Structure 1
Amino acid sequence: MVSITDPSMSDRFTSAMEEIHNKQLKTYGEISDSATELCQSHSKFVKSALDTCLKKCKDDELLFETIQTYKKDFEQKNVALKEERHAISEMISEIQQKEMQKDDIIQKIEKLKEEHNKRKELIESQNKANKDRLRNLQKARLVFQDHLGMEIRTILGKTQLIKGEKLQFVFRNINLSNPDSAYVVTMGIKEDGSYQIVSSDPVLECLPVLESRLQETNNLPAFLANIRKEFISQARR
């Protein structure tokens, strides 16, 4: 066993300690280099992560702005769509109202056509009746005016009773003592085409009966003949 007093022992111990120290220094240097490399690598990683985060943040901000823009655009389009739906609803309602008005107008037109056709038929019927009455008047004129000296006058009434154009049938040769004495019947035609006896001079009590018979038969010559007979009968009393 080597004694601690051995001079070579101290050198070996010193050499061993230096060797250990050098190894430690080398190890520390390696650790320091590794730490430096790790620090640099960490710095690069942190910088890269920071850049990535900043880029991601900017991308997120841009995406958020895009989303907000899309959201506003969607809201505007939604409002515009509601307005269009409202306008379409009003247009449909207006079209429906116009269709109802159209149907109502068509019904009114059809009703007017029916009323027009009825009036047309009534006018044609009245015109036919008036033509028949005119022929009767012509026959009466031929029979009484040409053969019996009856005079036919057209008059324009001045009173409410005989307002409008009327006809006067003036009979003569009734009174044998006074052949020129005039016996008069005034008559006209109503709106419905029927005869209207206005008056007689002198007054005949049977005039309403004769008028009623005229309305039934529409035979004017026979009516005038009966009037003449009544005038003769009255003159000879």
Structure 2
Amino acid sequence: MTSITDPNLSDSFTSAMEEIHKKHLKMCSDIIDRTAEVAQSRRQFVKTAHDSCLKKWKDDEKLFETIQEFKIDLGKKSEILKEKRRAISEVMAEVQEKEMQKNDIIQKIQKLTEEQTRRKELIESQNKANKNRLRNLQKARLVFQDHLGLEIRTVIDKTELVKSEKLQFVFRNINPSDQNNAYVITMGIKEDRSYQIVSSDPVLDCLPVLENRLQETNNLPAFLANVRKEFISKACC
């Protein structure tokens, strides 16, 4: 066994210790380097994670803002759509009202057309009746005026609110004692174009009966012939 007092042994031990110390230092250096690398790697990871989280937060915030903008825009579009629907509803109601007014106008036009047709038919009928009356008057004039001395006069009545024309039939050759003595009957035409006996001079008691018969038959010559007979009968009394 080597003595501890051996100077070589002391150098060997010192050398061994230094070698061990160097190894420990190297190991510590390696550990420190690895720790620094790990710390650097961790810092890089944390920084990367932080940047990712920050980017994610900004993206989420932007997405949230976009969603809010979409919601606001959707609300505005919804209001616009409601307004358009109200406008369409008002337009449809107006169109329906116009359609009802159109149908009402069409019905009024049809009624006016029908009324105009009826009036036209009534006028044509009245004109025809007037022509018949004119022919009757002409026949009466031929029979009575030319052969029996009948005089026909047109009289305008100014006492009424609306001036109207009336006819006077003046009979002569009635009274044998006075052939020129006048016997007068005055007639008019009502709104319904029927004859109206206004008066007679002298008064004939049977005149209402003769007037009713005239309304029924519309035969003016026969009426005037009967009136003449009554005047003759009255003159002979």
Q: So what's the TM-score if we normalise by structure 2?
A: 0.90
Q: Which moved more, 1:185-194 or 1:205-214?
A: 185-194
Please say if residues 173 and 181 of structure 1, whose CA atoms lie closer than 8 Å, have aligned partners that are also in contact: yes
Alignment-derived partner of residue 62 in structure 1: 62
- The within-5 A match list for 1:7-86 is 10-86=10-86
Q: What CA distance in whole angstroms lies between the structure 1 residues aligned with 2:51 and 2:125?
A: 107
Equivalent residue letter for 1:202: P
Q: Which moved more, 1:70-79 or 1:203-212?
A: 70-79
Alignment-derived partner of residue 202 in structure 2: 202
- The within-5 A match list for 1:79-158 is 79-158=79-158
Q: What CA distance in whole angstroms lies between the structure 1 residues aligned with 2:6 and 2:162?
A: 182
3-state SS of the aligned residue for 2:28? helix
Please say if residues 162 and 198 of structure 1, whose CA atoms lie closer than 8 Å, have aligned partners that are also in contact: no
Q: What CA distance in whole angstroms lies between the structure 2 residues aligned with 1:160 and 1:225?
A: 30
Instruction: List structure 1 segments (4+ residues) > 6 angstroms apart after TM superposition.
Output: none
Equivalent residue letter for 2:111: K
Instruction: State the percentage of identical aligned residues.
Output: 72
Change (3 A) 1:30 1:161: closer
Q: What CA distance in whole angstroms lies between the structure 2 residues aligned with 1:144 and 1:115?
A: 41
Equivalent residue letter for 1:147: H
Q: What is the Cα deviation at residue 117 of structure 1? A: 1.5
Structure 2 residue ranges without an equivalent (≥5): none
Q: What is the Cα deviation at residue 169 of structure 1? A: 0.4
Change (3 A) 1:162 1:107: closer
Please say if residues 195 and 215 of structure 1, whose CA atoms lie closer than 8 Å, have aligned partners that are also in contact: yes
Change (3 A) 1:25 1:196: same
Alignment-derived partner of residue 234 in structure 1: 234
Please say if residues 161 and 198 of structure 1, whose CA atoms lie closer than 8 Å, have aligned partners that are also in contact: no
Q: What CA distance in whole angstroms lies between the structure 2 residues aligned with 1:62 and 1:19?
A: 62
Q: What is the Cα deviation at residue 50 of structure 1? A: 2.8
Please say if residues 186 and 199 of structure 1, whose CA atoms lie closer than 8 Å, have aligned partners that are also in contact: yes
Change (3 A) 1:162 1:102: closer
Tell me whether 1:181 sits opposite 2:181 in the alignment. Answer: yes
Q: So what's the TM-score if we normalise by structure 1?
A: 0.90
- The within-5 A match list for 1:165-180 is 165-180=165-180
After superposition, the CA RMSD in angstroms is 2.2
3-state SS of the aligned residue for 1:62? helix
Q: What is the Cα deviation at residue 44 of structure 1? A: 2.5
Q: What is the Cα deviation at residue 61 of structure 1? A: 2.9
Q: Which moved more, 1:69-78 or 1:5-14?
A: 5-14
3-state SS of the aligned residue for 1:199? strand
Q: What is the Cα deviation at residue 19 of structure 1? A: 2.5
